[in-house]
Structure 1
C-alpha cells in the first residue's frame, strides 16, 4: 500500500515574480535553453502553452539518468503567479500513483520567492520522499533567475 507525501521549499530569487511565472506559464519551452544541463526539451503535445488542460512533455536529466514526464496543466492563477502540473505519464509513474508539482511566485520588496510544492502518492511504502526532485526544482529555479537577471546591474 502506498502513502501520501508532500514536500515544500522556498527559493529566494532576484527576478520579479511575474517574469519568473511568465517562463513557467507562457514560455515553458524556453526552459530547455535556460537550464540546459537539467532540461533537454519541453514539448507541447496538446492544447496551447499555458492553458489549463494542455499536455506538456518534459525531457530532463536527474540523478544521472535521462527521464521523461508528461504533464497536464491543472491550474493557472495569473493574479497569484501560480501554476500546477499533474504528471500523467513517464518515469515518475514507476514509483507514484499520482504526482503534482505546484509553483507560486511571490513578489517581495527585493526580488521574489518561488514556493514549490510536490504532492504525491507512492505505489508502496518503501518508496522514499522525492527530495532529489525537489532539489532539481530548486536548481532549475536558480538557473531561470540567473537567465532573467542576465545583463541587469546589481543595485
Structure 2
C-alpha cells in the first residue's frame, strides 16, 4: 500500500462557478449557516479572507465525530476559480504527514463542476485512504448549491 495518495471527484452543480467559489473561498465563515450539521464553524486565525497565506480554523463533522483543522490558503488562482488549502494543524495530522485540498470551480453551459483533489501522505500503511473526507466535500458542495440555487444569497 502506498503512503502517498491522491483522490479526486467532480460534483456537478446548477450554481455558477463564480458564486460557489466566492462562498467556499472568500466567505467560508458563512458555510456553517448553510450546513451546520457538517461544518460547525470557520474562523479567521490570521490574514485576510480569501488571500494566500491566510490561516483558517475549521470545526467540522467527519465520520460522526467533531474535528478541528487549521488550514492555510496555500495557492489562489482567481481566473480559474481555484485555490488550495494545506492542513497545518488538527486531528487529521494524527493520520497524515501532510494533506492538501485543491478546489477548482469550472463553469459549464448550465451551472458548473466543482473539482476536488485530495493529496496526502499517510503516517503508515495501515491508514485507509480518506474517501470519507472527499465525500464530506461533495456533500457540503451540494448544500451550498441548494443555498445558491434557492436564491438565499444573504448568508
Report the TM-score, using the length of structure 1 for normalisation. 0.95
Deviation of 1:147 after TM superposition, in Å, equals 0.5
Q: Distance in 2 between matches of 1:4 and 1:49?
A: 30
Q: Distance in 1 between matches of 2:119 and 2:7?
A: 7
**SS at 2:109 equivalent:** coil
Structure 1 counterpart of 2:28:
28
Deviation of 1:67 after TM superposition, in Å, equals 0.4
**SS at 2:19 equivalent:** helix
Structure 1 counterpart of 2:67:
67
Deviation of 1:35 after TM superposition, in Å, equals 1.2
- Structure 1 segments of 4 or more deviating over 3 A? none
Structure 2 counterpart of 1:141:
141
Structure 2 counterpart of 1:10:
10
Report the TM-score, using the length of structure 2 for normalisation. 0.95
Q: Distance in 1 between matches of 2:58 and 2:83?
A: 16
Over aligned residue pairs, what C-alpha RMSD do you find?
A: 1.3
Question: Does 2:43 correspond to 1:43?
Answer: yes
| Residues 69, 90 of structure 1: 8 Å contact kept | yes
Pair 151,45 (structure 1): closer, same or farther in 2 beyond 3 Å: closer
**SS at 1:37 equivalent:** coil
Q: Distance in 2 between matches of 1:125 and 1:43?
A: 33
Structure 2 counterpart of 1:109:
109
- Partner deviation per Cα, 1:9-34 (whole Å, 9 max, x = no partner): 00000000000000122111101111
**SS at 1:85 equivalent:** strand
Q: Distance in 1 between matches of 2:117 and 2:29?
A: 21
Listed as ranges, the gaps of 5+ residues in structure 1 are none
